[in-house]
Structure 1
């Protein structure tokens, strides 16, 4: 009796960037230059036009189009779309793995994140806090899980200064008339992390166009808002197999609130606490 061997599993499909990487040595000099840009800046490509890439590389826009066609795509938009799809697949929520060391890995990654946060220069944090303290209004925005962080940041900051409001960019996008309330004296504190919300990108760009100062708090990827942000903090998000860590965002929000309180010398907090006592907000 003979048995038929089980078929070998098919290899996982290569991403567009993998294909470029494996073919790199076969390209000419200019194509190697363009390919390396796509490999090194894959997370930025979904937000860049062919013209912007061409300007960076000091080549023509047609050179980018011809390169995309030579490597098997209809043109740059097709290559861009495939890279975007690849990123969505790799940056999406992962399925949980084995449970034997989840707890140990979780605490190890949280400690690593906190250690990395200590490397943020104090001057950068102070500049963030001073911009928040000096603003007429503080808009705190995010989408999905980032909106949850925005709500926490609003709660903390509102204890120390007036006119702090958290907004879901998904809801703002459905009510764009709220942009009429923005002035150039305001700041918007933006929380965003991969996968970057299209609503957040679109709404914050609209705010920026109205002159608001953009303070971006993001992960260590390539946020599409990085180019327009007046100030940016990139935080580590090393987490479990399933989720990125949100703890660094809460820690930094708390630290910024402490720095804002110091800048404003606590006057608003004293008034707020007096009102809490008058209305019996707390049991004790």
Structure 2
């Protein structure tokens, strides 16, 4: 684990177990994404980066059990002193591309460890049952998360009779969510990755008002789009390259898809019938 990854993991452990407000989750997310420089940010700088007020940063630190932001920053700096030096850090001397791949491997290890815990598998199984039971199944993912939503919807449609992909924003998005609810939907699946679009949060508010149970696949437990009562599943994104990498969230989506397939009556029969039709039509080359 490199120094930034180690700092991110330490911050994640700090935030776990605290019920943070949406504003506080926004600050927490900003700290994790900037874990390598978090210990050197002033409260004003952190507030500007997170898009919140400076008093909100102070209240955030107090909510975590510190006497104020200076106490949180001291804690962050103590972590730096305890971290291995540059020559000892895992990946030191490697090419930046290789370090990015190694960081993603570490994220997958974290996901595997989470799925080894009973609470981790229980959340996946509960979400799978919710998605299997809802008719129709709306799948939401905007901007950076659109690819994850499209991939899930593509495969889910092979076993679920009514999947509705919501991967474009705009004023019609709320209409499509309301239409799904009126058609009988009981749940909505949302993929949300940094930077989290405002439209995603607004769309989820529409879904909640319509009575839908929201399942969110996101990059952290303090994602700004989730609310109490949502079923939140998390896997970290990589930040070592110019654009985030989402191997762990993508794999988490596939694990959730497997749980949904396990809960859909007759799923295996639908898959077999698709294979027969695909062979008859010559859809695939292999």
Q: TM-score range by the shorter chain?
A: 0.5 to 0.7
Given candidates 39, 42, 59, the residue that maps to 1:37 is: 59
Change (3 A) 1:224 1:259: same
Instruction: State whether structure 2 residue 109 is matched by structure 1 residue 115.
Output: yes
SS at match of 1:222: coil
Task: Report 1:17-32 matches (<5 A).
Answer: none
> 5+ unaligned residues in a row in structure 2: which ranges?
1-39, 48-54, 65-92
CA RMSD of aligned residues (A): 3.0
Task: Return the TM-score normalized by structure 2.
Answer: 0.62
CA change 1:125–1:221 in 2 (3 A) is closer
1:279 aligns with 2:281: yes
Instruction: Give the aligned length.
Output: 204
User: Using the alignment, how far apart are the partners of 2:172 and 2:44 within structure 1?
Assistant: 34
**Kept in 1: contact 2:220–2:234 (CA 8 A):** yes
| Alignment check: 8 A CA contact 2:236 2:246 kept | no
| Alignment match, 1:179 | 177
Within-5 A mapping of 1:203-242? 203-220=203-220, 222-242=222-242
Q: Which residue of the partner structure matches residue 202 of structure 2? A: 202
Q: Secondary structure at the match of 1:132?
A: helix
Q: Which residue of 2 aligns with 1:256?
A: 256
Is 1:182–1:207's contact at 8 Å kept on the other side of the alignment?
no
Deviations 1:218-255 (A, max 9, x none): 11163233215531012111331423221112111211
* Cα distance change on mapping 1:229 and 1:102 into 2, 3 Å: farther
Structure showing greater radius of gyration is 1
Q: How does 1:78-93 map to 2 (within 5 A)?
A: none
1:161-212 per-position Cα deviation (integer Å, ceiling 9, x unaligned): 22112212414x3454323422253321111122210111111110111111
CA contact (8 A) 2:178 2:207 kept: no
Question: Contact conserved, 1:182 with 1:210, CA < 8 A, in 2?
Answer: no
SS at match of 1:236: coil
- Give me the whole-angstrom Cα distance separating, in 2, the residues matched to 1:164 and 1:281: 21
SS in 2 for 1:283: coil
- Give the TM-score taking structure 1 as reference length: 0.63
Compute the displacement of 1:138 (Å). Answer: 1.2
In structure 1, list runs of 5 or more residues that go unmatched.
1-11, 20-32, 43-98
What is the Cα deviation at residue 36 of structure 1? Answer: 3.5
